[in-house]
Amino acid sequence: MVLEDMIQGWLQELAMQKRYSHHTVTSYRGDLLSFQKFLEEHLGEAISTETFGNLRISDFRAWFSSRISNGLAARSNVRALSSIKSFFRYLARRNLVDLKVIYSVRRPKLARLLPKPVEEKTLLNFLNQDSFFDSDREWVTQRDRALYSLLYCTGLRINEALSIKTREIAPEMKIRTKGQKERIIILLPLVLDRIERYVDSCPHNLREGFLFVGVRGKRLHASSVDNRLQKLRLIYNLPDHASAHSFRHSFATHLLQNGADLRSVQELLGHESLSSTQIYTDIDDGSLLKTYEKAHPLER
């Protein structure tokens, strides 16, 4: 089997069958090519499919050591190992490698990073501004307010929000999430009203296309949203971590602080595992303690 054909088949499977995003497929490809280049230098030979089947645990240790000495962080190394394991599984299904060696490679330990929400009062005050930039046209202000309110109302990731078509907007709607799975999100009347105001004021025809567009009528990009928020942080004294994704963190944290149960928040965020949602319980133990004291029969 030609290695290049195997790699192309694997990448096609990631994109077409597993429906990984273009960004993820590109990252996996880069990780594998980097690993291949390392092996060529490490083993002093051209790499073939058979090479992967003959690798030892010491080869993987040398790879990790090389990455660490080049300053690559643990999170990057975890992602790279995940990429290589994915390729190995693809080869194993074709009886070209044994998975025992790669599954004996220890995953690098990651420091647990707590999400950083924006304080509730600060965020509500920001969402209710008459305008964000004085130089903006009215419809751009309406667009930004509608987008920020949608993110905070639903906990959507920014790319999920920017993928919504105008015709899909409804009080309850299905969206495709990370990994191309579906989940239900609920739009509050206030958010629906702000979206309607934006659509009515926008000079571009939004009815058959994406809901959120830039000044030229093309689909709005996440980088543009974060660039604007970076400038708005200074104007409105928002914390340094305020970004499009911090609306999602704020959504989950504020729900829990106000008494929502963990499994409901898990469903709303679209997390497969409850452990992914539990990280939000570590942010504000004080608020959770108040909820516990209020709810427990012994305290009542």
Q: What residues are labeled active site?
A: 157, 178, 245, 248, 271, 280
Nearest partner of 180 among 23, 18, 14, 22, judged by Cα = 18
Please report how many Cα atoms fall inside a 13 Å half-sphere around the Cα of residue 51, on the Cβ side. Answer: 17
Of 66, 110, 68, 63, which is closest to residue 85 (Cα–Cα)? 63
Distance CA 72, CA 65 (A): 10
Q: Mark out the alpha helices in 13-157 (DSSP H runs).
A: 22-43, 49-53, 57-69, 74-92, 120-127, 138-154
Phi first, then psi: give them for residue 185, nearest 5 degrees: -120, 155
Distance CA 12, CA 179 (A): 15
User: 3-class DSSP state for residue 117?
Assistant: coil
N-terminal to C-terminal alpha carbon distance within the chain? 70
The tokens of 89 are what?
Answer: 């599984």
**Is residue 285 a contact partner of residue 253, using CB atoms and an 8 Å limit?**
no
- Count of CB atoms situated within 10 Å of the CB of 102: 19
Of 156, 144, 252, whose CA–CA distance to 201 is shortest?
Answer: 144
Encoded tokens for 29? 């490809």
